[in-house]
């Protein structure tokens, strides 16, 4: 339900935030309204000593676009922080008697001082919220000058004129690029002096509504409450000179309710209430919008779209209009390629919202940003739920806490009528607060209490938690987890199973939280990378990284492709497509894991679009869909059939078992439904009856069992399955599976082992069991499998032997070339995604090279380490490797080399634990051994140490 802010809160505690502020989604019917968007004069003022009187002669002045930021417009000011001026002229007739001329700013980041004709007219602090100033006393006939002095600290300097960057709400500007200046629209409004300041409506699914008005400059000294009838369609004529009225119109413009009431002298606010029988409800499926218009005796009138809807939680579930809803969200940082914080247009954002719906999303988590109001307008009309957040600061102090509360008050004032807004986060991942300190935990609890009072009806997430932080008092029990898939798929499943158990670690370990046992569980951040198709020339931000971390820098992407991967992919577009397909398979696995747990009621993918160096979006930064976008819609539907299987690789004749789950959130009845499945290559479709599943839940729905088919060579097959009810398919899905022929019974080459630490003991036993004999001494090319390049192994190589080095621990192959474990570093791929690659046409991969970027077929041999320091010239001898993000940390996992008189094959594939039990691992090592005894001629050389 869209609740109205309690009178004692909105008209007392937040009065300072409301006076001279009109709701952004409300539209004044004024004598004159004109936009001041367009060309403004602009100059930086590094010393901060420029006076408004000096602007006309200021050196270095140039033209800037408003709305916009100086960082987005001027290449030389990307990192400028400090003071700058914007100014322009305008002409406006003197307001009529009883009217005022207001200048209204959508948002200026961060502090704005406004001058009219050289005189200070007012100021405002806060980079995300609207403010308006009465400039009537400063006007003159004819042309007038409007100037805005902007103060915005940044990384350097971190403090400007007493404003510390660490103590202001700034969001993730410091991750990508700052926004400074008037980044939202500016306009003039001629309105009555006595006018409506804010109009808020609460309207529920039951048709009941309340309309509350704030009246600015109401004449008279006393104040009394106005009343009205709640009867639908009631109407009365005011009996005094002071009155207010309101009406509701449906989408066709027809008036469906109307009221008028008398006001007492000096009355500063008034309320209407009523009930609309059988209203059209707002929802993602039917985003029906009504319009409310209110007017008062002075002639002022405002309108606002709104929707009848109720959003709440009960028993660990989310409910929209009384029906359970599974939240399928994406994190949206709401940055744009050219304009940074400023949306290019309302149509652009509407298209974004429709694109979000097309891939199955019903929610966007607008991340640590108060968006332009057009963002919420577009969400309202498209039918996208919005969970948005107070922009974070870096350090909790009295000033930052006060600013955070003021920002929330302004968000509620501006955005209350938007049916799309359903939740707000106070902080994210404990940024700007140290929850290890008891006073800061107490602050968060208090802030949560204040937020519930300010925004009753919005869900309040106290801290969207991650890592070693937690909740103190929250309506949502959410957490974040990033896992490289398929590398860490088992870890991800363990995490999700733990999350579904409603673990104690969601809440403060200090026994001082207000545990909400009924808060719905969500995984509110997770994701994987897929590289975009980069325009030529690349964008300006390609040269920028995050905090000096080279792994995040896109610059040089094309050169790295040429140096390392031009023989693997026919072009950059092909490489990008492969990573995007890998991203989809990773997300698919994670979404299916989440939706197979009925306790978990939603998720938020990181993220909706790429942003600068961060490439984990479902769309790229230019809003182009990634290659698998068309497959996301069925995956993110109200109903989803899921098959969970512990492995993907099977030998012919082996029993295959998959557990089937159905996540059911549509209103369709599953009574009498069926599960149908088939395996590619066979004509037969198998049918199983579907068990009854409660709407708004997920439940096991049986199993798929069959015998792995006979194959003469390794094959990839698609297992397809669907759920039908009432003769109609409700959900279709599939799994990639891999089938291998039984191992040939032939005598393999003889091998010996050098393994002083016993790391390959299991592998030795398995290979012996698979027919590998110890050398007899008569072999021309004896094969040694080693876990370390010690003196004994080097002697074998010096004498012309063949060595397979299977390594997982820190060791040096030669100066500058190191084997490095991946765990607990950027090499694990959990933050900047890693991509395993193989030369799938190479003889070693003739049986296992299903694709250049392997997926779940290679899960069992996930490399625990990589070979670092290999120069590009060595890469023709890198037979399999790994890269990260924008082709950084280019490493090997299977490398051939000359060493002494012998030949060396080094691999970090996890073969030691998987050989003999996993068909992919078994086939891969068998093929490596066969290759090593063959005639291969590497050019790369590993010098042996004396």
CA gap 278, 633 in Å, rounded: 31
In contact, 802 and 784? CB cutoff 8 Å: yes
Q: If you write DSSP's letter for every residue of 33-83 in order, what string do you get?
A: EEE--EEEEEEE-TTS---GGGGGG-TT-EEEEES--HHHH-GGGTT--EE
For the stretch 655-686, pLDDT in tens is: 999 999 999 999 998 988 999 999 998 877 88
* Strand ranges across the sheet with 27-28: 27-28, 301-306, 290-296, 243-249, 255-262
CA gap 352, 625 in Å, rounded: 11
Residue 62 confidence (pLDDT): 97
Which among 335, 408, 345 has a CA at the least distance from the CA of 377? Answer: 345
**pLDDT band, very low/low/confident/very high, at 618 (cuts 50, 70, 90):** very high
Residue 31 confidence (pLDDT): 44
Which among 755, 739, 749 has a CA at the least distance from the CA of 931? Answer: 749
**pLDDT band, very low/low/confident/very high, at 722 (cuts 50, 70, 90):** very high
Distance of CA 272 to the CA centre of its chain: 39
Residue 780 confidence (pLDDT): 62
In contact, 180 and 71? CB cutoff 8 Å: yes
Q: Report pTM.
A: 0.92
Mean pLDDT, residues 308-323 taken together: 97
Six-digit token string for 394: 């870096």
For the stretch 787-827, pLDDT in tens is: 999 999 999 999 999 999 999 999 999 999 999 999 989 99
* Strand ranges across the sheet with 655-664: 639-644, 655-664, 697-707
Is pLDDT at 403 greater than 60 in this prediction?
A: yes
Q: How many CA atoms lie within 13 A of 107 on its CB side?
A: 28
Residues 6+ apart with CB under 8 A from 889: 551, 826, 827, 866, 868, 882, 883
Residue 499: its H or E element: helix 489-500
CA gap 330, 638 in Å, rounded: 16
Mean pLDDT, residues 170-184 taken together: 97
**pLDDT band, very low/low/confident/very high, at 358 (cuts 50, 70, 90):** very high
CA gap 513, 293 in Å, rounded: 43
% of the chain beyond a pLDDT of 90: 87
Which among 414, 308, 422, 322 has a CA at the least distance from the CA of 363? Answer: 422
Is pLDDT at 4 greater than 80 in this prediction?
A: no
For the stretch 520-534, pLDDT in tens is: 999 999 999 999 999
For the stretch 88-123, pLDDT in tens is: 999 988 899 999 999 999 999 999 999 999 999 999
Mean pLDDT, residues 753-782 taken together: 87
Which among 677, 661, 664, 484 has a CA at the least distance from the CA of 590? Answer: 484
**pLDDT band, very low/low/confident/very high, at 694 (cuts 50, 70, 90):** confident
**pLDDT band, very low/low/confident/very high, at 240 (cuts 50, 70, 90):** low
Residue 641: its H or E element: strand 639-644
CA gap 773, 751 in Å, rounded: 6
Residue 779 confidence (pLDDT): 64
In which residue are the tokens 């990573």 written? 579
For the stretch 227-236, pLDDT in tens is: 443 333 334 4
Is pLDDT at 399 greater than 80 in this prediction?
A: yes
What's the chain's average pLDDT?
92
- Comparing 31-35, 423-427, 502-506, the range with the smallest average pLDDT is 31-35
Residue 218 confidence (pLDDT): 87
Mean pLDDT, residues 312-316 taken together: 96
Residues 6+ apart with CB under 8 A from 595: 326, 640, 642, 661, 663, 698
């Amino acid at each position: 339900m869209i609740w109205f802010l309690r009178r004692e809160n909105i008209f007392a505690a937040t009065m300072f935030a409301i006076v001279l502020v009109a709701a952004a989604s409300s539209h004044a019917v004024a004598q004159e309204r004109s936009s001041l968007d367009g060309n403004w004069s602009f100059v930086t003022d590094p010393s901060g000593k420029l006076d408004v009187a000096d602007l006309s002669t200021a050196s270095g002045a140039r033209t800037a676009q408003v709305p916009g930021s100086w960082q987005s417009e001027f290449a030389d000011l990307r990192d400028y922080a400090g003071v700058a001026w914007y100014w322009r002229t305008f002409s406006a007739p003197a307001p009529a008697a009883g009217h005022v001329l207001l200048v209204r700013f959508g948002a200026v980041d961060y502090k704005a001082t406004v001058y009219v004709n050289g005189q200070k007219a007012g100021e405002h602090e806060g980079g995300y919220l609207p403010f308006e100033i009465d400039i009537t006393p400063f006007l003159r006939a004819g042309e007038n000058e409007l100037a805005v002095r902007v103060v915005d600290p940044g990384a350097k300097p971190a403090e400007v004129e007493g404003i510390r960057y660490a103590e202001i709400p700034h969001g993730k500007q410091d991750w990508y690029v700052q926004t400074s200046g008037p980044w939202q629209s500016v306009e003039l409004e001629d309105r009555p002096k006595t006018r409506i300041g804010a109009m808020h409506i609460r309207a529920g699914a039951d048709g009941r509504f309340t309309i509350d008005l704030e009246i600015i400059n109401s004449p008279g000294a006393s104040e009394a409450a106005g009343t009205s009838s709640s009867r639908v369609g009631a109407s009365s004529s005011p009996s005094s000179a002071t009155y207010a009225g309101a009406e509701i119109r449906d989408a066709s413009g027809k008036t469906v309710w109307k009221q008028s009431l008398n006001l007492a002298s000096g009355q500063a606010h008034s309320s209407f209430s009523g009930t609309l029988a059988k209203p059209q409800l707002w929802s993602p499926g039917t985003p029906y919008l009504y319009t409310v218009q209110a007017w008062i005796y002075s002639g002022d009138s405002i309108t606002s779209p709104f929707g009848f809807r109720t959003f709440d939680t009960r028993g660990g579930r989310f409910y929209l209009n009384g029906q359970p809803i599974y939240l399928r969200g994406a994190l949206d940082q709401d940055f744009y390629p050219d304009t940074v914080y400023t949306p290019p247009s309302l149509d652009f954002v509407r298209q974004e919202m429709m694109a979000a719906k097309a891939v199955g999303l019903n929610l966007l988590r607008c991340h640590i940003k108060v968006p332009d109001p057009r963002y919420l307008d577009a969400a309202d009309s498209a039918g996208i739920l919005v969970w948005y957040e107070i922009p974070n600061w870096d350090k909790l102090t009295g000033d930052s806490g006060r600013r955070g509360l003021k920002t929330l008050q302004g968000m509620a004032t501006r955005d209350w009528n938007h049916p799309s807004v359903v939740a707000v986060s106070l902080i994210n991942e404990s940024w700007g607060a140290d929850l290890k300190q008891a006073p800061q935990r107490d602050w968060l609890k208090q802030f949560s209490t204040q937020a519930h009072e300010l925004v009753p009806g919005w869900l309040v997430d106290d801290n969207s938690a991650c890592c070693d932080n937690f909740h103190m008092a929250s309506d949502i029990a959410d957490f974040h987890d990033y896992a490289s898939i398929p590398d860490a798929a088992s870890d991800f499943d363990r995490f999700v199973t733990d999350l579904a158990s409603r673990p104690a670690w969601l809440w403060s370990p200090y026994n001082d939280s207000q545990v909400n046992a009924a808060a719905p569980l969500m995984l509110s951040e997770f994701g994987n990378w897929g590289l975009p198709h980069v325009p030529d020339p690349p964008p300006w931000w390609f040269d920028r990284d995050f905090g000096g971390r080279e792994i995040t820098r896109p610059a040089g992407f094309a050169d790295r492709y040429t140096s390392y991967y031009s023989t693997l992919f026919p072009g950059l577009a092909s490489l990008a497509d492969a990573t995007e397909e890998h991203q989809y398979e990773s997300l698919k696995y994670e979404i299916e894991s989440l939706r197979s747990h009925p306790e978990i009621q939603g998720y938020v993918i990181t993220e909706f679009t790429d942003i600068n160096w961060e490439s984990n979006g479902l769309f790229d930064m230019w809003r182009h869909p990634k290659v698998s976008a068309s497959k996301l819609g069925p995956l993110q539907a109200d109903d989803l059939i899921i098959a969970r299987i512990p492995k993907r690789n099977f030998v012919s004749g082996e029993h295959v078992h998959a557990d089937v789950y159905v996540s059911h959130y549509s209103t369709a009845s599953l009574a009498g439904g069926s599960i149908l499945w088939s395996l590619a290559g066979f004509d037969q479709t198998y049918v199983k009856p579907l068990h009854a599943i409660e709407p708004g839940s997920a439940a096991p729905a049986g199993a798929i069992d069959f015998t792995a088919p006979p194959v003469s060579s390794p094959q990839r097959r698609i297992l397809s399955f669907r759920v039908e009810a009432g003769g109609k398919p409700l959900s279709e899905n599939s799994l990639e599976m891999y089938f291998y022929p039984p191992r040939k019974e032939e005598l393999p080459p003889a091998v010996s082992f050098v393994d002083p630490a016993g790391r390959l003991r299991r592998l030795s036993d398995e290979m012996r069991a698979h027919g590998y004999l110890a050398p007899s001494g008569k072999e021309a090319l004896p094969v040694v499998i080693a876990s370390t390049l010690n003196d004994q192994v080097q002697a074998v190589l010096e004498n012309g032997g063949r060595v397979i080095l299977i390594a997982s621990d820190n060791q040096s192959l030669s100066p500058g070339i190191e084997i490095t474990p991946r765990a607990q570093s950027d090499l694990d791929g959990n933050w900047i995604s890693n991509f395993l690659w193989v030369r799938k046409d190479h003889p070693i991969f003739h049986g296992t090279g299903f694709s250049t970027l392997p997926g779940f077929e290679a899960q069992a041999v996930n490399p625990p380490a990589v070979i670092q320091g290999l120069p590009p010239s060595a890469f023709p001898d890198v037979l399999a490797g790994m890269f990260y993000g924008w082709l950084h940390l280019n490493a090997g996992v299977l490398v051939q080399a000359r060493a002494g008189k012998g030949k060396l094959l080094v691999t970090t594939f996890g073969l030691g634990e998987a050989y003999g039990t996993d068909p992919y691992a078994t086939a891969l090592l068998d093929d490596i051994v066969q290759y090593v005894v063959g005639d291969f001629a590497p050019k790369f050389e590993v010098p042996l140490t004396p």
